[in-house]
Amino acid sequence: MKSQVVSFLIKCPDQKGLVAKITSFFHEKGFNILSSQQYVNAIEDTYFMRVRLNADGTNISKEVLENEFLELATPLNIDWSVNYGDKKQNVAIMVSHTSHNLYDLLERSKEGRLDCNVIMIISNHNKLRYVADMFNIPFYHLPITKETKLEQEAQVKKIVDCNEIDLIVMARYMQILSADFINYYPEKIINIHHSFLPAFQGANPYKKAYERGVKLIGATAHYATVDLDEGPIIEQDVKPVTHESTPTTLKRIGADIEQLVLARAVKCHLNHQIIVSGNRAIVFPEAGE
């Protein structure tokens, strides 16, 4: 195993001795535990863990590691996943008309602030092709109408699957994806919504925020689920505003929040910090990474 950092994400019923058993397992296999983070949900009696390992001192194969961990995991009812950090993840970005999130993700990816390969940009409009061109990323213009919705989604699916995409980021893609599409990529689609959910679900949140006279506006990044704007929340932030703000200025102020919130959420996902449990996202903080 040549990779630097191996990450395990673990979820199971809470029970005595879990930390000891799991950390002893890795210790015995020769790993150095870089960080081990736990969370016990006492309401649901569930245990969550994120372990980051340095594989330098061990020459166990991935296969053996996984088989032996499975032996530990099965009697403890552990749901788990492992990532070997030896392959950059492939990302597809979906957009419509709004450019700020797109620029930001492309810049972060290009400059190494996001550890991924942006493989493609998919849009129902042609407007943002020039941004893709600036960053030399393939741009797929796949228009959509009520009538062609399923067909267009089939096209999206096809190019996504052909390119081994690990994560789809909806960076202000202003179409509602079908339940079929969403269910085909569980916990693989991150959406940015331009309000502090659950406030102002659906269309035109900045207009609604103006009308309600709120004193702060926000943005929410969440996993897309079949219930619109109701998926597990990964990251949220807000900024104070005043009565002076119009829907137009709220939109402009909000753009900066959307940008940061989406970038942070994508980073947490790429960095294997998230375990979804029901409709809640357990987001472990970075451990000095």
CB of 268 to a second copy, least distance (A): 11
245 binds a second copy (CB under 8 A): yes
Among residues 228, 158, 142, 162, the alpha carbon closest in space to that of 193 is found at: 228
Torsion from C-alpha of 238, 244, 249, 251, nearest 10 degrees: 40
Size of the site for a second copy (CB under 8 A): 72
35 binds a second copy (CB under 8 A): yes
Q: Which of 7, 8, 9, 26 binds a second copy (CB under 8 A)?
A: 26
What would the x/- binding string for a second copy be over residues 210 to 229, using CB under 8 A? Answer: -xxxxxx-x-----------
285 binds a second copy (CB under 8 A): yes
User: 48-67: which residues touch a second copy (CB under 8 A)?
Assistant: 57
Provide the H-helix boundaries in the chain.
18-28, 62-76, 100-110, 129-134, 149-162, 179-184, 205-212, 247-270
- Containing 85, the helix (H) or strand (E) segment is none
Cβ closer to a second copy: 106 or 144?
106
In the residue annotation, 104 being an active-site residue is answered as no
* Cross-strand partners of 229: none
CB of 189 to a second copy, least distance (A): 17
Answer yes or no: are the C-beta atoms of 114 and 108 closer than 8 Å. yes
CB of 155 to a second copy, least distance (A): 28
Cβ closer to a second copy: 164 or 211?
211
CB of 215 to a second copy, least distance (A): 4
Q: Which of 96, 99, 117, 155 binds a second copy (CB under 8 A)?
A: 99
Buried b (16+ CB within 10 A) or exposed e, 232-262: bbbbbbbeebeeebeeeebbeebbebbbbbb
Q: Which of 233, 262, 266, 270 binds a second copy (CB under 8 A)?
A: 233
Query: From CA 80, how far away is CA 69, in angstroms rounded?
Result: 9
282 binds a second copy (CB under 8 A): yes
Q: Which of 2, 16, 63, 146 binds a second copy (CB under 8 A)?
A: 16
Q: Which of 68, 107, 115, 187 binds a second copy (CB under 8 A)?
A: 107
281 binds a second copy (CB under 8 A): yes
Query: From CA 75, how far away is CA 161, in angstroms rounded?
Result: 35
* Cross-strand partners of 47: 12, 40
User: 190-209: which residues touch a second copy (CB under 8 A)?
Assistant: 196-200
Q: Which of 236, 254, 262, 272 binds a second copy (CB under 8 A)?
A: 236
Q: Which of 119, 121, 238, 262 binds a second copy (CB under 8 A)?
A: 238
Could you tell me how many residues make up the chain? 289
Cβ closer to a second copy: 71 or 278?
278
162 binds a second copy (CB under 8 A): no
Residue of 133, 180, 229, 237 marked active site: 229
273 binds a second copy (CB under 8 A): no
Provide the H-helix boundaries in 135-246.
149-162, 179-184, 205-212
- Backbone φ and ψ for 286, nearest 5 degrees, come out as -60, 140
- If you count DSSP H runs as helices and E runs as strands, how many of each does the chain have, helices first? 8, 13
Q: Which residues are catalytic?
A: 229
